[in-house]
């Protein structure tokens, strides 16, 4: 009987822990490498997996590289190719981070909060530290989180003639938006 009660307590505690994590499979990440010379290198991925654990302040995003859609199919082919994202070998970009000012965000109360997020972004097997402000809106238990930051392509060994010619920004802007429930 004691074992049954202990097992039931463990299962209940585990389920409550999972219930606290907010997730989605439809977060949106945009990649904007446009320049004054070329406004085409801009893409959007609407199938990004995202999670926030309000209790721990952990934040995760995982984007499948081939799901970034460009208006020009040729640019999309270059983006996924070996000299750029090499999506056959490195199929995902992953961010793992933490809200560093967790006490400033009340996930139990409707409102708009500014969070500071620090973490590691992994692209093409290379990891770099990312620090960015994020806006978190809590409404009815749901969370909307948005953030915008830039990355340096050279940090991920992404180089090429279009970058050198100024057709692609050396530091593209990344925008993340997620509705988590």
The separation between the first and the last C-alpha atoms of the chain, rounded to the nearest angstrom, is: 36
Q: How far is it, in rounded angstroms, from Cα 24 to Cα 20? A: 13
Q: What is the pLDDT of residues 121-169, one digit of tens each?
A: 999 999 999 999 999 999 999 999 999 999 999 999 998 888 888 889 9
Token digits for 135? 């806006």
With a CB cutoff of 8 Å and minimum separation 6, the contacts of 81 are none
Q: Domain 21-180 belongs to what architecture?
A: Beta Barrel (2.40)
Tokens of 146: 């948005």
pLDDT bucket at 19, cuts 50 / 70 / 90: low
User: Which of 26-30, 44-48, 92-96, 163-167 has the least mean pLDDT?
Assistant: 163-167
Mean pLDDT of 49-63: 98
Is the CB of residue 26 less than 8 Å from the CB of residue 59?
no
Question: Quick one: how far is CA 163 from the chain centroid?
Answer: 24
Domain ranges, ordered by start, for the chain: 21-180
CA dist 123 and 89 (Å) reads: 11
Q: What pTM, to 2 d.p., does this model score?
A: 0.86
């Amino acid at each position: 009987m004691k074992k049954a009660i202990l097992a039931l307590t463990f299962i209940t505690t585990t389920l409550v822990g999972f219930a606290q994590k907010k997730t989605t499979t439809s977060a949106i990440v945009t990649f904007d490498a446009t320049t004054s010379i070329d406004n085409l290198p801009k893409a959007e991925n609407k199938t990004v997996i995202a999670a926030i654990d309000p209790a721990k302040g952990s934040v995760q995003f995982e984007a499948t590289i081939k799901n970034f859609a460009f208006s020009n199919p040729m640019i999309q082919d270059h983006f996924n190719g070996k000299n750029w994202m090499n999506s056959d070998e490195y199929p995902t970009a992953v961010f793992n981070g933490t809200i560093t000012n967790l006490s400033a965000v009340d996930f139990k109360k409707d409102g708009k909060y500014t969070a500071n997020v620090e973490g590691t972004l992994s692209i093409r097997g290379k990891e770099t530290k990312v620090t960015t402000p994020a806006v978190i809106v809590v409404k009815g238990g749901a969370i909307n989180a948005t953030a915008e930051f830039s990355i340096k392509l050279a940090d991920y060994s992404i180089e090429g003639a279009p970058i050198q010619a100024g057709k692609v920004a050396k530091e593209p802007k990344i925008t993340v938006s997620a509705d988590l429930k």
